[in-house]
Structure 1
Amino acid sequence: MNFIISNPMDAGQHHSYFHLSPNVGGFQDVRDHKRSHSGSSFQPSIHASEAPPQEEEIRLLEQEPDGSVCKLDGISEGNHKYNSVLAECTRTVINISGLRFETQLKTLNRLPSTLLGNEEKRKKYWDPVRKEYFFDRHRPSFPAILYYYQSGGRLKRPLEVPLDIFLEELEFYELGRVTIDMYKESEGMIFEEQPWDMPDNSLNKLWILFEHPNSSIPARIIGIVSVVLIMLSVVVFCLETLPVFKPSCFFTVKHNDSGETESFSYTDYTNWMFICESVCIAWFVLEFVVRMISCPSKIMFWKSIVNWIDLAAIVPYFVIFGMSLTNQTCLASNKSGLLQVVRVLRVVRIFKLAKHSQGLKILGKTLQLSISELNTFLIFFAIGVVVFSTMVYFADKGESESYFTSIPDAFWWAVITMTTVGYGDEYPVGIAGKLVGGLCALSGLLAISLPVPVIVTNFNNIYKNTTGRGRET
């Protein structure tokens, strides 16, 4: 059964044939739509044709974007006498396990390094009898691959195609290592740089030793030492705040020139907590300096957020130690705001575990892939805080026992209400204010629930791709 599909908007200019015939897996559907990359398309009208022309008699004229005309004389790539200029405009049929696709050769030739874009690579799949290319491959994956050629590099996996099968198809059609790696990264697959691809010299061996804990037994030992010292430094940092453990200071009394007594405090360098802290910092400094010297690219080294975390974990120790030596006093018991901020920075050492923990890598990658959903949530949440803070302020403004003296003062109430925490330190007392509070709580539930399915799906995909375990989504 044959049909002619014609475009009423392009009458007399373009015709294509909609051919239905039994084949493997059902009917074939070969269509040539006059479609632009901007997304516009026509609605075809289908009417029967009593005597469709034969394939070798088809003569079509197509207008090119630059105004030139490509004359299609039924030339096939299987004919060695074809004109190479006209062949760029020739249509070719690609048969994927019985499902036929039709496109122009110039579309495929945009990517000459790939299987379909290289004439020498694809000619072994040419069927001279049917005058088409035949690939015994996964059919649902091919529309995305063909669109990769048509769109100039946009790659999107169909929802019904499993990730592992789609990656096999990308490898078969030779879309390139860079494209495949970028696609893996977009899917949340965590893969480390292969250390054996680097030049074999002493500096690179040091880099592999400290950067890739799973590359060798010595590298694993260094990784274990790093993890133990990170945990030790965090434990010491927490224990310092207990009243049982006094600060690493000792106090003394001296008489000044006028005979008055003054008390002085000095850092106790023999304190076990100070010794543990110094040993940990010495290892962190050694590790950071070796990695910085031996890294293949200094620019990429300083662009990495992980290296800035390592630096932030080292700096506070030297700031406090330097100020202690300069002022000749113990700063461990000093309560000044600047020193408190410097001390808080020591807690970033725990993020150094991300390099050695697969779970933290998965969590970080999940947040990275879900950044758009998180931004949407934060925008919605911020709008809700401002709106409901304003509403509850004016709703309770006439109440004598109102907790809200201003709109900014109501921000805290809106935050804890939208997050359904509800400390109860601030709450509306009037009927109107309570109605606003109920709407605020419901809006908070909605704001939190919207991004959760996407984040959970991303986490499950990354976890499955990384560990090989997990539920198919």
Structure 2
Amino acid sequence: MQFVNTPTTGRRLLVPLASDVARLRRSPVELILRSSSFSRGFDAVPNEEDVNIEDKGTCVSEDEGVELFTELSSRPSQGEHTCATEGCQRVIINVSGLQFETQLKTLNRLPNTLLGNPFLRERYWDYKRKEYFFDRHRPSFQAILYFYQSGGRLKCPLEVPFDVFLEELRFFGFDQKMIDEYKVSEGYILEKEPLLPENKILKVIWQLFEHPCSSIGAKLLAIVSVLFIALSICVFCIETVPGYSSDPCVYYNHTKNISSTHPRKQAVTINYGDHFFILESVCVTWFIFELVVRFISCPSKLSFIKSPLNWIDGASIMPHLVFVGAFCLSGACIDSKASNVLSVLRILRVTRVLKLGKHSQGLQILGLTIVKSVRELGTFFLFLIFGVVVFSTAMFHSERLVDNSHFGSIPETFWWSIVSMTTVGYGDMFPQGIAGKVVGAFTVVGGILTVALPVPIVVTNFNTLYSACIGRAPIY
């Protein structure tokens, strides 16, 4: 019996060599001596009883036929392409009935994710259908798979809600850093992890006054703070009503000696019995107490001073402190009606409305929307200024020869252009000539287009932030 050991080429049948195999069965040694019969490294050897070409190969026997086996995995020669080493095997991924096909090396680009880790995705392998099955959101998976294919480009499809897309990213193993980077690329404002004081007592106090959702006591304290804010707002609004207004200063005649013949001098003091003054003093006392406690318990004094919200808190109590402090230092009650400076300071009391933003999620969303839409709002104001200058110039020259014209100069026409472009139309200034009316028509149309262009972007930003806050997924 003659045997020929073939090289280790893998477990497969040599179909192209069927004719040589037939001759091998008749005369194995003759075929071996013909080096042109096989082109895979066979060498001519003497005719012996047993001819060995390579050790441990697949045997070709005269009695048993030809059958090629291997004991080792395929080892390609240098420069030869194989899918086993390149990872180009095709992988079928079934997402709720929708099949996706990609290469294995594409998924291996992100080994820390669910699809890129062979051990994590093994539990989703369907042995019967030879595919991976995920019962997840199909439209979202298209963007996720493209993230692997493109090497890092992630974009939420337009028809997919943002919170749903974030849930899919977390399911497929995207870490929080990747999700945060994606949020920043989409325009989200990420809030850093809040700092807490190291002292336990200060930590409790800080959470009570700064984080209303941290405990029941913090919620009750937030309710009290909101009530004081609402009371102070009502006070400075009602005190301007003519039927309820009162003078904060009291004027009376005072002399050291009643029997003196010298004329009496008029003295002025604060009207301590005024109900509005009492309520204002109580509210300001609470605001000062809250501000001082927060400053003492804050983890970083420098960050506390830099915070714009804390400056708003200080501005809201400044008018009352200036009013009382001026009386204590000078001994005279300065009425806001007689002092323009105090009148301007009393306007700062309206900033107490902004204090509600810390306790209202809706106001926080509005603030985030404005911050996120700064570029669009800047573009709107730029278009508005450009339109005001152009249409004011056109209107002035169109109405310059008209008798009793309302447009004396281009700067005076700015007011009319702003009112017209914003579609308010007070009617205090209007064109009278035909040319002016034509310019007015173009001004209104241009104003509508100017206002309409950035509005959809701002509304989209608000809806995105609102759904992220109120919906199923948090913003941060």
Q: TM-score, normalised by structure 1?
A: 0.70
Q: Is the 2:189–2:372 Cα contact (8 Å) retained in structure 1? A: no
Write out per-residue CA displacement over residues 37-81 of structure 1, whole angstroms, 9 at most, x where no aligned residue: xxxxxxxxxxxxxxxxxxx99x9x9xxxxxxxxx784354xxxxx
Paired residue type of 1:443: G
Instruction: Decide which moves more: 330-339 or 168-177.
Output: 330-339
1:174-323 correspondence to structure 2 within 5 Å: 174-181=173-180, 201-243=200-242, 244-254=244-254, 259=262, 261-323=264-326
Paired residue type of 1:213: P
Q: Does the residue aligned with 1:141 lie in a helix, a strand or coil?
A: helix
Paired residue type of 2:251: F
Write out per-residue CA displacement over residues 387-423 of structure 1, whole angstroms, 9 at most, x where no aligned residue: 1111111111122311222111111111111122211
Q: Does the residue aligned with 2:407 lie in a helix, a strand or coil?
A: coil
Q: Partner of 1:423 in structure 2?
A: 426
Instruction: Decide which moves more: 348-357 or 134-143.
Output: 134-143
CA 1:183 to 1:272, structure 2 compared with 1: closer, same or farther past 3 Å? farther
1:50-129 correspondence to structure 2 within 5 Å: 73-74=81-82, 76=84, 95-97=92-94, 98-102=99-103, 108-109=109-110, 113-115=112-114
CA 1:187 to 1:307, structure 2 compared with 1: closer, same or farther past 3 Å? farther
Write the distance in 2 (CA, Å) between the matches of 1:296 and 1:91.
54
Q: CA deviation at 1:286?
A: 1.9
Write the distance in 1 (CA, Å) between the matches of 2:323 and 2:234.
19
Q: Is the 2:108–2:117 Cα contact (8 Å) retained in structure 1? A: no
Tell me the C-alpha RMSD between the 2 structures: 4.0
Q: CA deviation at 1:378?
A: 1.6
Which structure's residues are more often strand, by fraction? Answer: 1
Write the distance in 2 (CA, Å) between the matches of 1:194 and 1:333.
44
Q: CA deviation at 1:382?
A: 1.4
1:403-418 correspondence to structure 2 within 5 Å: 403-418=406-421
1:457 alignment partner, one of 449, 460, 468: 460
CA 1:436 to 1:277, structure 2 compared with 1: closer, same or farther past 3 Å? same
Structure whose alpha-carbon radius of gyration is higher: 2
Q: Does the residue aligned with 1:175 lie in a helix, a strand or coil?
A: coil
Q: Partner of 1:349 in structure 2?
A: 352
CA 1:183 to 1:286, structure 2 compared with 1: closer, same or farther past 3 Å? farther
Instruction: Decide which moves more: 355-364 or 428-437.
Output: 355-364
Write the distance in 1 (CA, Å) between the matches of 2:131 and 2:163.
28
Instruction: Decide which moves more: 456-465 or 277-286.
Output: 456-465
Paired residue type of 1:316: P
Paired residue type of 2:205: L
Unaligned runs of 5+ in 1: 1-55, 62-70, 77-81
Q: Does the residue aligned with 1:264 lie in a helix, a strand or coil?
A: strand
Q: Is the 1:170–1:180 Cα contact (8 Å) retained in structure 2? A: yes
Paired residue type of 1:366: T
Q: Partner of 2:331 in structure 1?
A: 328
Q: CA deviation at 1:273?
A: 1.6
Unaligned runs of 5+ in 2: 1-72
Q: Is the 1:401–1:429 Cα contact (8 Å) retained in structure 2? A: no
Write the distance in 2 (CA, Å) between the matches of 1:134 and 1:451.
43
Paired residue type of 2:209: F
Write the distance in 1 (CA, Å) between the matches of 2:203 and 2:90.
49
Q: Does the residue aligned with 1:263 lie in a helix, a strand or coil?
A: strand
1:440 alignment partner, one of 440, 443, 450: 443
Q: Does the residue aligned with 2:426 lie in a helix, a strand or coil?
A: coil
Paired residue type of 1:383: F
Write the distance in 2 (CA, Å) between the matches of 1:321 and 1:117.
69
CA 1:261 to 1:413, structure 2 compared with 1: closer, same or farther past 3 Å? farther
Q: Is the 1:99–1:139 Cα contact (8 Å) retained in structure 2? A: no
Write the distance in 1 (CA, Å) between the matches of 2:166 and 2:251.
67
Q: Partner of 1:33 in structure 2?
A: none
Write out per-residue CA displacement over residues 190-218 of structure 1, whole angstroms, 9 at most, x where no aligned residue: 99989899979222222221222233221
Write the distance in 2 (CA, Å) between the matches of 1:283 and 1:151.
57
Q: Is the 1:189–1:466 Cα contact (8 Å) retained in structure 2? A: no
Q: Does the residue aligned with 2:468 lie in a helix, a strand or coil?
A: helix
Q: CA deviation at 1:129?
A: 12
Q: CA deviation at 1:138?
A: 3.9
Q: Is the 1:190–1:466 Cα contact (8 Å) retained in structure 2? A: no
Q: CA deviation at 1:446?
A: 1.9
Instruction: Decide which moves more: 402-411 or 114-123.
Output: 114-123
Identity of aligned residues (%): 48
Q: Is the 1:187–1:462 Cα contact (8 Å) retained in structure 2? A: no
Q: Does the residue aligned with 2:101 lie in a helix, a strand or coil?
A: strand
Write out per-residue CA displacement over residues 56-108 of structure 1, whole angstroms, 9 at most, x where no aligned residue: 99x9x9xxxxxxxxx784354xxxxx6xxxx7xx6575643220234856982
Q: Does the residue aligned with 2:268 lie in a helix, a strand or coil?
A: strand
Paired residue type of 2:453: L
Q: Does the residue aligned with 2:392 lie in a helix, a strand or coil?
A: helix
Q: Does the residue aligned with 2:139 lie in a helix, a strand or coil?
A: coil
Paired residue type of 1:430: G
Q: CA deviation at 1:339?
A: 1.7
Paired residue type of 2:377: L
Write the distance in 1 (CA, Å) between the matches of 2:198 and 2:116.
32
1:339 maps onto 2:375 in alignment: no
Write out per-residue CA displacement over residues 370-397 of structure 1, whole angstroms, 9 at most, x where no aligned residue: 3333222222111111111111111111
1:350-365 correspondence to structure 2 within 5 Å: 350-365=353-368
CA 1:75 to 1:205, structure 2 compared with 1: closer, same or farther past 3 Å? farther
Q: TM-score, normalised by structure 2?
A: 0.69
Paired residue type of 2:279: C
CA 1:134 to 1:299, structure 2 compared with 1: closer, same or farther past 3 Å? farther
Write the distance in 2 (CA, Å) between the matches of 1:151 and 1:326.
71
